[in-house]
Amino acid sequence: MKKFYILIVLSLIIAGVSAAAVWHIRGSNEKTLARQKEQWDNQKLELQAQLDGIAAQMEELKTQKNELDSPELDPAALIARLREMKDMADSEKTDVELPEVVIDSVLTSNTTQTNEAILKQGHDQVREAFFVFQGLRDQGDRSLEAIGEYLTSGHNVTLFKEENSLQVNGRRIRLRRGQSSVIPMTSRLGLIQTLGEIKTPAALELLCQAMQNSTDLKEIISAGNILLAVDKDAYAKIILAVCNAVFPNLKNQDQSEMLAFIKNISEEEYKNLLANLNLYNEYGHLSMDIFRRKMETLGEAALPEAITAFNREGALLAEKLVILESMKKFIGSNEQATALFTGYINGLEGDDKDMIGSMAILIGASELESAENKAEKQQQYLNVLSQLNTSENDQSLFGETLGMANEFLTQQIEQGENFNEDEYAKKVLSSGYLQRMMSSSMTFIRNHPEIAGGGAQMGPIDFSPF
């Protein structure tokens, strides 16, 4: 089946110009991701080379001194070195002097604090920590008593600080939360990795105990992933029990990370947990990630809750638009979704009807291109469009959009495979419709600054992607 290119173009323009801040639903451009991944891989290779050098130094030290003559390598002595380290979480400022080439790389890739920057920030401490972890790993089960005592004590040292931004040579760089790193962020995470590298039955038992006693999301996920890689059947139930116990205390992004982790372990457990989750955050706003997960996972069964959220008193425009977009596949086939769609659009006026109504019509039409039973879905959608209020010879943008959608769908149904989408696209482009849509979008943004920029009345709303 051919695709209707002009609808795709219009959808992209609308999403990019009119509601970019609302629909942060999908990931970044593939080309940008590829470039960032290449840069990250290069950085990781450079760091790994340095870590390999540390490992080589350790091996050399082991050959030069026998165990009895090296008290500094005793597990208890190594653990004591962790306790003496500076906690970088207490640092008030992160100010790193980097070469221009590194700064350019950071700025152009929109990446977080690089591993190279981290090494420069706390170079000696990071090297010291890896010396400790390597020494404990090399002594295997002999290290377990000291590691267990440290983990039980609750002591923890932040080896580097994950911040919202990084000051680089006087320039502030925005950081993305949760950037993965081969450097463990804390001493406890480093010891968890060390147990996973020792990987003896006793080490895995201690690792499992540490996970069960932890309430820290990163520690649970790190230990859980190690145990799952060793024996998923043996550890899955234990890990899920820990996740379910900790989950109620998590918020926003931490909830999203835990949900993604649970989903990788058990789809059934994920669905059960998701079905009972509250859609609203502590501020009373819709939690966008939870809502999207519910709609994508539960489908039509989640519609009643979505409709309640849409109609609740105080629902923000941004929330309404996200809810409306999420139920587009059910418009025409589900009576409740159809009634909400038509009722909301018919209640709009002026510029709001031009922009929101036009967006809703076009997004709903574009959904039909990938639908099963396409002809049947097109006819259903035509029936829905006939319920939208418009006057005869309506010259508004909404009227133009409605007429265009009706004409397009009718011709597709009547002509089938003979429908010439290229000719129809040329007709729309030559009509000046795109220019009128752009102009209307600018008016819409001026009238609703909270949509474009997350203004004050939006409040703290979680728009994070999965």
* DSSP, residue by residue, 372-392: SSHHHHHHHHHHHHTTS---T
Confidence of residue 120 (pLDDT cuts 50, 70, 90): low
Residue type at position 305: E
pLDDT of residue 309: 93
| Listed range (58-62, 215-219, 317-321) with the worst mean pLDDT | 58-62
Helices (H), 312-420: 317-326, 335-346, 350-352, 358-367, 374-385, 397-415
pLDDT at position 162: 55
The pLDDT assigned to 32 comes to: 55
- Higher pLDDT: 109 or 433? It is 433
Distance CA 449, CA 233 (A): 51
Specify the higher pLDDT residue, 30 or 157: 157
Q: What band does 61 get if pLDDT is binned at 50, 70 and 90?
A: low
Give the contacts of 144 (CB within 8 A, at least 6 positions apart).
195, 198, 202, 203, 206
The string of pLDDT tens digits covering residues 4-59 is: 444 444 444 444 444 443 433 344 445 555 666 677 677 667 767 776 776 676 66
Q: What is the rounded distance in angstroms from the CA atom of residue 396 to the CA atom of residue 378?
A: 24
| Domain residue ranges of the chain, discontinuous segments joined by + | 1-30+279-466
**Position 348 pLDDT exceeds 50:** yes
- Is residue 150 over pLDDT 90? yes
SS3 (DSSP) at 24:
coil
| Confidence at residue 104, expressed as pLDDT on a 0 to 100 scale | 43
Is residue 141 scored above 80 in pLDDT? Answer: yes
Does residue 463 have a pLDDT over 50?
Answer: no
What pLDDT does 146 receive? 95
Higher pLDDT, 309 or 371: 309
Name the average pLDDT for the chain: 77
Highest mean pLDDT among 3-12, 119-128, 246-255: 246-255
Query: Which of 64-73, 212-221, 270-279, 282-291 is the least confident region?
Result: 64-73
Give the pLDDT score at 93. Answer: 45
In the chain, % of residues over pLDDT 90: 31
Q: Is 94 exposed, middle or buried (0-12, 13-18, 19+ CB in 10 A)?
A: buried
The 10s digit of each residue's pLDDT in 258-306 is 999 999 999 999 999 988 888 888 888 888 888 999 999 998 999 999 9
Q: How confident is the model at residue 257 (pLDDT cuts 50, 70, 90)?
A: very high
Please say whether the beta carbons of 70 and 121 come within 8 A. Answer: no
pLDDT of residue 7: 47
Q: Which residue has the higher pLDDT, 307 or 11?
A: 307
- The pLDDT confidence band at residue 362, using thresholds 50, 70 and 90, is confident
- Give the span between the Cα atoms of 55 and 242, in whole angstroms: 34
Mean pLDDT to the nearest integer, 197-219: 95
